[in-house]
Every structure is written in structure tokens, then in C-alpha cells.
Amino acid sequence: MQTGKNYRFWFCTGSQDLYGDECLARVAEHSKIIVEKLNQSGMLPFEIIWKPTLITNELIRKTFNEANSDEECAGVITWMHTFSPAKSWILGLQEFRKPLCHLHTQFNQEIPYDTIDMDFMNENQSAHGDREYGHIVTRMRMERKIIVGHWDDPEVKEKLAGFMRTAVGVMESSHIRVMRIADNMRNVAVTEGDKVEAQIKFGWEIDAYPVNEIADYVKDTPKGEVDALTDEYYDKYEIILEGRDLEEFKRHVAVQAQIELGFERFLEEKNYQAIVTHFGDLGALQQLPGLAIQRLMEKGYGFGGEGDWKTAAMVRLMKIMTSGMKDAKGTSFMEDYTYNFVPGKEGILQAHMLEVCPSVADGKIGIKVCPLSMGDREDPARLVFTSKTGPAVATSLVDMGNRFRLIINAVECKKVEKPMPKLPVATAFWTPEPNLKTGAEAWILAGGAHHTAFSYDLSVEQMTEWADAMGIESVVIDRNTNIREFKKELRWNEIAYKLL
């Protein structure tokens, strides 16, 4: 599922008229070359649009306001090629409402030792001009991403690509609408939260519907469509009967096909991009949506179990941030289930009752039909698989009462040692950074949930910067985490957010 918008980023170069027209012509030429080469690099997910050099108050203000009103502009990349007195940026920055990147670079990579003179110095002084500009952005307390290095350095381009994806996450957050079936699971604390505050902070719209409104859409799905989708499942996935009757199995699978089609029609018609279900409130639905939800997540919908709308919105957000990514490894709703405490093999087995997104699958995907052992419905069909290996991020957004906190854990995904033939759900297995004991202790201290929004394709840095842009607290658990420092950070944040 795409965002529907062709996002672009504007490249604005700052200078002044002190050095003459010849110098300004070269400033423009240099920035044009940088934009052209960056666009040709193939490393950036979105196009950069070159803008004429910014010199005066008026032009800076006008450009930022045009960026605000251009629906396709997802952010502005700024760079001071020469010196640009920063007071001229105040009004423009004050009115600017989109993600800002400060690319602290210069046209040449190396000092031209043999030819360098004062003219060269005056023309190429971003080490100087970018500090003047940086000062005013800091003084104005504005969030921005600073990227330092030569513009042709692959690491710089990677950071720029990361910024772009985060910026699109910031822009698209306010278009996320979560459809809730009924309420949160009774008595559960961590999946609750302040929906009004979530709309103020993130722009999320979170609406509840009686389950039978969506169940009607499921019931009204034409049989021909259900049969066609069931056939598609049978073509695409391995059927794991495990002794069940062939026809009875297929009937159960068809129920999920019908749910997928009915749910999708409901979500599309009413413009929702994320959904939550609740196994205890299924109304006229015959099965807990399992395979159906897995398929919807793969299409880009956000999901949270047991009414967890915060995680559903985060899954949708992270799917937007990674959409169209080459070689993406996947993004999913996940739940911490069971530990392996064997020394040297520590980790957390991740799954949910049914709903893990097949985008994270490694290898073959099968369909099983098994009892749920919870609730009162017929045995739901579900996709089963194991997940990819490698680094990933697990995030949990919690409501602390006076603020939201995003907990971001770097994790290392692994294979479990042996197959688990009796476990009829999709799984992942990871060791949290810095290790299981410290990682889990820090997570619990920070109040992290058992549900997570998980992705192989986003970094701790990107999630932190998204939280910064939203004006919420974030805490990181990674290889640098130690409990004594982490507790201090939580304690200090408590004060900081009381004052903010």
C-alpha cells in the first residue's frame, strides 16, 4: 500500500551577495551539480528538487511558505555554501512546518592545497556559514536532522535516505486512521491510552465500530470472490493438513478469505489504514481474523491485537516509512511470548495468537487450521512460517499518563535451534541488545509493552528522530545501554517532561 503521494525534497542553498555575482553563479552551479548527482546515485528513495540560492529574508520566507503549501514537498534540505547571516532565516524558519535537514557538506572533498587562495576560502566556507545557520536553528529550538560529510560519501547518502523515510513518516502520520473493533481487552493496561492526545501529537484518528458492522461486510462478500481468493491461497501457500479433513480444512480457509475481502472493502470505503481486533468480541465473525489480518498487514495495513490501537498505528507508520524499499525484509506487529534462558542462546520467542505479517517470513509459508484455545469460535486458519535473521528494531509506544514514550530496542534476529512442529503460529526469535538480561530489564523499567511494532528495515536513529519530530519522549535500548545510566535517563526525563 503506497501513500498515494509523490513526495519530493527541496534543496535550498544559503549564501549572501557580499562576494559578487561570479561567486553566486558558482554557488548555484555547485548546488545544481550536488542535486543532480544525488538524484542519479540511486541511493535516495525520493527525488530532490533544486531551488534558487537563498539570500534575502523575503526569498527565504517565501520559499519556506511555498514548501509548506506544496503537498508533495516532504521536507527541506538546507546547506550554507558560503556565509549566510542567520537572522535572515528567522522568519522563514519560524513559519516552516515540515521536516528539516541540515546537510553540512561542501562542494569539494579535499582542500586544493596547490591552488587555494582567499577567493576559494570565501566561496567555500560552509564550515563557517553552516555554524552560523546551525546556531539560529538551535536557538529557535527547532528539530532538524544534521548530516555531516562530503555529499558524495555513501554514508552521507545513506543518512539522507534515512532522513527522507523518517520525514515521510512525519508527514504521513497525520493521515493514519485506525479502525477499532469494539474496545480494548478488559483489564489490560498497556494497550490503553489517551486517544485525544494521540491525535494532537501524531495526528491519528482512532474510531471504534460495533463488530457486526464490519461482520456485515464480510457476510456480503460474493461467493465467487471468496472462492477465487481461496484458490489464490492454495496456489501461493503450502497446505499443512495435519490429518484434518480436506474439505473441512478448505471451508475454514475460505472463512479467512471472506474476512480478508470484507475487511478490506470496509477499510477502503471508510478510509482506514490500520485495524485492531479483539478475540473476545467477534460478534457474527466465525473465526478470529488470522490469515486475513496477516494478508492485510502484508498489503500495508497496520494491526494491533486485543484493541491495541497504538501498536496498530505504529505498524502502519513503519510500513509507510519502509514502503517501496528495495530488498526490504519486513515490518510486523509482534508479541513477546517465551524466553530461551540457556546461556549463550538467550532470546525471546516472538509470535502472536495468529497475526504476524508474512513480509517478515523467511522461506516457505504454510497454512494451518488449529484450535485457538481462547474465545469461543471455530478453529481459525493462519499462515505459519519462521522469520528472517539479522538486525532489526522493536518499538513500543506507551502512555505514561502525562506523555507518550516510545521505547526503541535494537534486536538481533536469529533462528531457533530446532523446529517447533507443534507450534501452529508464525514466529520470530531475537536477542535484544545489549543482551537478554539488560535488554529486558531496561524494557520493563521503561514500561514497554508486550506488543511491539517491529521492522528489519528501520534504524534506531530513524525511530528516535521520528519521536523527536513528534515532540514525544523516546528511550533507546541498544549495545550502549547500562542499567544505572538508563535509570538516570528515565528519572531525568520525568523532570524534563514535567517542565515542558
Give residues in contact with Mn ion (CB under 5 A).
305-306, 335
Nearer to Mn ion, 205 or 306 (CB): 306
Nearer to Mn ion, 444 or 495 (CB): 444
Query: Read out DSSP for 126-176?
Result: HHHHHHHHHHHHHHTT---EEEES-TT-HHHHHHHHHHHHHHHHHHHHTT-
Residue 428 and residue 335: Cα distance in Å, rounded? 10
Residue 181, phi then psi, degrees to nearest 5:
-90, 115
Minimum distance, C-beta of residue 353 to Mn ion, in the bound complex (Å) = 7
Nearer to Mn ion, 130 or 306 (CB): 306
Minimum distance, C-beta of residue 206 to Mn ion, in the bound complex (Å) = 18
Nearer to Mn ion, 334 or 369 (CB): 334
Grid coordinates of 399? 502512555
Grid coordinates of 251? 471451508
Closest CA to 281 of 426, 180, 177: 180
Minimum distance, C-beta of residue 333 to Mn ion, in the bound complex (Å) = 9
Minimum distance, C-beta of residue 270 to Mn ion, in the bound complex (Å) = 25
Nearer to Mn ion, 16 or 332 (CB): 332
Q: How many CB atoms lie within 10 A of CB 395?
A: 25
Minimum distance, C-beta of residue 179 to Mn ion, in the bound complex (Å) = 18
Minimum distance, C-beta of residue 355 to Mn ion, in the bound complex (Å) = 9
Minimum distance, C-beta of residue 277 to Mn ion, in the bound complex (Å) = 10
Nearer to Mn ion, 54 or 288 (CB): 288
CB 31 within 8 A of CB 50: yes
Closest CA to 463 of 144, 204, 166, 102: 166
Residue 401, phi then psi, degrees to nearest 5:
100, -50
Residue 32 and residue 14: Cα distance in Å, rounded? 13
Nearer to Mn ion, 335 or 399 (CB): 335
Nearer to Mn ion, 209 or 337 (CB): 337
Residue 449 and residue 440: Cα distance in Å, rounded? 11
Q: Quick one: how far is CA 101 from the chain centroid?
A: 18
Sequence-ordered list of residues with C-beta below 8 angstroms from that of 394, at least 6 positions apart, any chain: 334, 408, 409, 411, 430, 432, 452, 453, 454
Minimum distance, C-beta of residue 208 to Mn ion, in the bound complex (Å) = 18
In terms of DSSP H, where are the helices of 203-349? 211-219, 223-236, 246-270, 291-298, 309-321
- Residue of minimal Cβ distance to Mn ion: 305
